[in-house]
Amino acid sequence: MSADPSEPIWNRPEPGARGASLSRDKIAEAALNIADTEGFEAVSMRRLASDLDVGTMTLYHYVRSKRELLGLMEDGIMGELLVPDDELPDDWREALTELAVRTYEVFRRHSWALQALRGNEENGPNGMRHFEQSLAVTSRLGLDGREQLELITLVDDYTLGVVQRQADADAFADAAETFIEQIPDGVLEYFDALVESGEFPNIAGLAGSDDPLDTIRLLGSVFFDENRFRRGLERLLDGIEADLSRRSRSRRGARSPRASQGRSQRQGSGRRAARTPRG
């Protein structure tokens, strides 16, 4: 009955009827601890069990596979994404910003998490709540379901894209200042030689200096810039807002969403070029 192998972990009752020494929560917490302090690759079943003072195989009584463990960890993180309902602004743009910033900050705290999260489409309860919360924002915009989903994934994809790049930078160096120091000498020499070859004029001139390594320093400072995310988010939301108001304008008669209440949108760009994608 509960032995159905396709049953997701969220449907199976947690062990513990008799005196169980562990719980899924405790396991997930310990795993998150390891990942946060020593990196995701340090999370192995043996290591986790040893932290919990248990035999390795004991874990498999609470979890069917390591994938399921990762699912538990993921849902824990999704929980951090939740915004208390009374803190979610009424204005759609502010609300989306709040959600995106929170997503950014959470995944920045657990910079290993994007990798772990990949590949299990089973949303846990917290994942569902986060999804619901996102929809609660977009549902006020007068969009149909598909358009709402597209809007959410649009902002999400951008956010996770930035997070991933910064996670990569994190995995490589501690900070912008030490970025260049942590690059092996040989790599720097290689880069230097290529730039000096004259085949990369734009790379060479980028930092406005004659030291090619200044380009790398500049790169490091951009990768680690914590405000870059917000600036890009504003650009994206500008584009979305323009599209929304353009759309609601053309759809006259219907109850128009309070898309823009004279917010920072002052551009009204008429430049709507006929753009042929693809040639």
Partner DNA sequence: CGTCGGGTTCGTACAACGTACGTACAGCGT
Partner DNA sequence: ACGCTGTACGTACGTTGTACGAACCCGACG
Restricting to residues 189-228, which ones interact with a second copy according to CB under 8 A? 189-191, 194, 199-203, 205-208, 215, 218-219, 221-223, 225, 228
d(CA 31, CA 70): 9
Minimum distance, C-beta of residue 74 to DNA, in the bound complex (Å): 15
d(CA 137, CA 132): 9
- CA distances 246 to 145, 152, 232, 269, Å, are 19, 19, 21, 11
**Cβ-defined contacts of 190-195 (< 8 Å, 24+):** 191/216
d(CA 180, CA 216): 7
Closer CB to a second copy, 49 or 244, in the complex: 244
d(CA 174, CA 273): 44
Binding partner of residue 22 among DNA, a second copy, none, CB under 5 to 8 Å per kind? DNA
Q: What is the x/- site pattern for DNA, positions 204-233, by CB under 7 A?
A: ------------------------------
- 104, 163 Cβ separation under 8 angstroms: yes
Minimum distance, C-beta of residue 188 to DNA, in the bound complex (Å): 22
Q: Which of 164, 247, 256, 257 binds a second copy (CB under 8 A)?
A: 164
Binding residues for DNA restricted to 56-85, rule: CB under 7 A: 56-58, 60-61, 65-67
Binding partner of residue 239 among a second copy, DNA, none, CB under 5 to 8 Å per kind? a second copy
Binding partner of residue 108 among a second copy, DNA, none, CB under 5 to 8 Å per kind? none
120 touches DNA by CB under 7 A: no
106 touches a second copy by CB under 8 A: no
Binding residues for DNA restricted to 17-36, rule: CB under 7 A: 17-22
- 200, 194 Cβ separation under 8 angstroms: yes
d(CA 100, CA 121): 20
**Among 54, 51, 60, 12, which residue's Cα sits nearest to residue 31?**
51
Binding partner of residue 67 among DNA, a second copy, none, CB under 5 to 8 Å per kind? DNA
15 touches DNA by CB under 7 A: yes
Q: What is the x/- site pattern for a second copy, positions 121-150, by CB under 8 A?
A: xxx-x--xx-xx--xx--x----xxx-xxx
d(CA 67, CA 48): 14
